[in-house]
Amino acid sequence: MAAYGLYTHIASNKFRSMLLLAGLFLLIYVLVFAGALVAEVVLNSGASLNYYLTRASRDLISALPYATIIAALWIVIAYFFHQNMIDAVTGGERVTRQQQPRLYNLLENLCISRGITMPKLKVMDSPALNAFATGLNRRQYSITVTSGLLQALNDQEIEAVLGHELTHIRNGDVQLMVIAMIIAGVVGFFGELFFRTFTNLSWNSTGSDWSSSSSSSSSSSSSSSSSDRGKGGGGAIMAIIIAVVLILLAWLLSQVVKLALSRSRELLADAGSVELTKNPDAMITALRKIENRGELPGATSAVMELCVDNPREGFADLFATHPSVDRRVKALVQFAGGRDPGPLALPSDTADEPESEESSTEQLQPPVPPGPWSDASEPAGVPGARSGPLDGPWGPHR
């Protein structure tokens, strides 16, 4: 019953997510301000820090509409083409009922039972065990599963994974995650652009002027006094340091916010799967089978953040996009009454293991023919082997 109680947190989580998303959008303006600082230093390298901050603030106000339009245009492009980009990275292909009747029927039954519009169904050819949902509206929603998942999980476990992804769609998690990824992409793009601009700047021989590596050295004023240049140089250095710190802070916060959106929803999606399937054990065993087997080769970090499980972890769990499988299973056991079988080994895990030295030696040694009075049976599996007693020269030996 407590599994259903987890849904009391959905409203507050969605509200917090919207606030985080709005904060992430504001990071774009922080980057614009940082870029304005760099631009002012390039245009006038002999001013004070207060001058740069004042001018950058004015530049931010002037550039605010343009920055908003560019960010909105980026979002519009991603809105219509993000699914194509994800499919190009993962190789997912849409399947029909005729191609995947088992998978199609499981998803259709879940959707019919809750009156949910059925999303598109796609299969990715990969031995990894994983699945993810994408889309920004009902016409775009799709669920992609790997071929390895279909082979390793039974029907109840696959149904639980599909229920997990349907819950992400029902709760709006997929929409928020995709938007957060888009805006984080904008932050990353502007951050890289500013850093490239910054690395193209060089400190000239006077130690006081910032100039572009492609500009003429005659841009510096020969009439400036050495004390003014020193003061201006100090202000320029401080302005550049502030710009670099702001860019790093914006990027770091964009990643942290994006990861927080993902981590806060996995437990709810697990609980939602239990609500749809009424089978907590299936969700638990599915997680145990997927555990440490979900790495999608060639997939970007953005795609992995959408998956049922993301094995890619950062330092001190700061950049881990998903709670650990142990934590998720513990929640299902505690709140949904499931049973944890512990880590599960799959047949594929031992298929490629080398045979033990003892067994290899036994197979290499030829069978020893029994003597006339031997009561040993021939080794099992050897052509011509018998399961009964061997016949000696005077009849069956007992």
Q: Which residue has the higher pLDDT, 191 or 362?
A: 191
DSSP 378: P
Measured distance CA(177)–CA(24) in Å, rounded? 12
pLDDT (tens digit per residue) in 261-309: 666 688 889 999 999 999 999 999 999 999 999 999 888 888 888 899 9
The verdict on whether 165 is a catalytic residue reads yes
Predicted confidence at residue 374, as pLDDT, reads 44
In angstroms, how far is CA 96 from the centroid of its own chain?
27
Predicted confidence at residue 84, as pLDDT, reads 87
Percentage of the chain lying above the pLDDT 90 cut: 33
Cα Rg of the chain (Å, integer): 31
Question: Active-site residue among 165, 266, 291, 305?
Answer: 165
For residue 183, with 0-12 CB atoms within 10 Å meaning exposed, 13-18 middle and 19 or more buried, which class applies? buried
* pTM of structure: 0.72
233 pLDDT tier (thresholds 50, 70, 90): low
CB 166 within 8 A of CB 276: yes
pLDDT (tens digit per residue) in 8-23: 556 665 676 677 667 7
Residue range 171-190: mean pLDDT, rounded: 77
Written as six digits, the tokens of 265 are 């929803």
DSSP alpha helix (H) spans, 115-225: 147-152, 155-170, 173-199
Percentage of the chain lying above the pLDDT 70 cut: 69
pLDDT (tens digit per residue) in 24-83: 778 888 988 998 998 898 888 888 999 999 999 999 999 999 888 887 788 788 888 888
Measured distance CA(183)–CA(54) in Å, rounded? 27
Q: Which residue has the higher pLDDT, 352 or 160?
A: 160
DSSP lists the bridge partners of residue 93 as 123
Name the pairing type of β-strands 391-392 and 395-396.
Answer: antiparallel
Which amino acid is it at 76?
V
Predicted confidence at residue 359, as pLDDT, reads 44
CB 347 within 8 A of CB 153: no
Listed residue (108, 153, 112, 107) closest to 129, CA to CA: 153
- Cα 249-250-254 angle, rounded to 5 deg: 115
DSSP 98: T
Residue range 324-329: mean pLDDT, rounded: 93
Asked if pLDDT for residue 147 goes beyond 50, the answer is yes
List, in order, residues 6 or more apart from 293 with CB less than 8 Å away: 128, 129, 130, 148, 152, 346
DSSP lists the bridge partners of residue 94 as 122
